[in-house]
Amino acid sequence: MICPVCSYAFAVAGPDASGRAATLVDCNHCGKFGLTGSLVACLPTLLAQRDAAPKLSHVIRRAHETGQLLLLDSYTTEAILENPLPRPRFVLRAIGSVECVAAVALFGQQRSMLIGQI
């Protein structure tokens, strides 16, 4: 099955065992989460908004990472979509001065070769 949020191909969905009108999804990308029946009906319209899928997927993934099973309804989803996407987290590594000098020298060589071709 395809995940209804991120469209990842390897997702499993099924009915909620507690009897609620909800669908439980286990996506390899987003994590485990639930969608109420009302949200399933309006999800295609909500996902047409700019950055809707990444926003929802991010919130679901963060909840899954903390061990929470998020049950999304239409109100919660609309509130999530009002917020901006988080800034990406970059991992910077320290480089030594020798590596830095080598990188600058390589850049200079490539730049002079390109200028010579013009």
- The answer to the question of residue 77 being in a domain is yes
Q: What is the pLDDT of residues 47-102, one digit of tens each?
A: 999 999 999 999 999 999 999 999 999 999 999 999 998 877 665 555 555 555 55
Domain count, the chain: 1
Q: What Å distances lie between residue 66 and 2, 13, 57, 59, 88, CA to CA? A: 24, 21, 14, 11, 19
Q: What Å distances lie between residue 55 and 37, 81, 86, 93, CA to CA? A: 20, 7, 8, 28
- The answer to the question of residue 78 being in a domain is yes
> What range defines the domain where residue 62 resides?
11-87
pTM: 0.69
Pairing of strands 31-36, 11-15: unpaired
